[in-house]
Structure 1
């Protein structure tokens, strides 16, 4: 985690930003909860435990800055809540998600499934792709298994 924090600090410095104590607390919360797809409010509540003096507006500004610098990706799974996801170290693109419409679980797909699609978009439409997002909405294995068990009973 210290290594990732140092890389993020360098990324901020390269864009003429400092890793203030408030920003560091926010980044640490994101690193510690990397699998959770936290909302700004979630991040704020966890940051408050580390730095009680920090305000919600500061957390929002920090998350927006980290999003602009591509340290985090701002995502919405269709529930009207923006969530923040740390970009994987060295990742060229945002990773993909599987969102269960029954239980709300979110799984990540690390493989870049859209290389061929990007090439087609660039060659056929002359559009230079910088990034992409792909979210599948459906029913996870666990919910499918529960449904089968209920139907069989």
Structure 2
């Protein structure tokens, strides 16, 4: 059996698709077994979200965006609440949709990155998502985009700090 597998593997190295399939199958079995690794990934993603939000708030983007968005009140939340994260993500999709046809590719790229990163965070917290009680976004107050981005940045910093403490 060893000889057959060895010959198969050696002949597969000549074939590019076979190598690609082998590598992908090997990576498919890799599961982060440690909670520490998952927290490091979340930590990195929140840091990326904060950087994109910072670029949106200090750049000329915040003056371009005149949408009114549902914004969570942070005084009621002491931890990284998934329903609040979901609402921020949905409102970022509103911004993305509103400015889909703008010529500003940097704005669309930053907003798109934030949406993708927050989606990744929400998908990887499926266990918490099932157990947490969702609060409707419409229950939050409507604020202008500049305030929304500042509060979202503060919330992202809270989540980042919470992960750092773990």
Asked if these proteins are the same fold (TM beyond 0.5), I'd say no
Q: Whose strand fraction is larger, Structure 1's or Structure 2's?
A: 1
Question: TM-score, length-normalised on structure 2?
Answer: 0.24
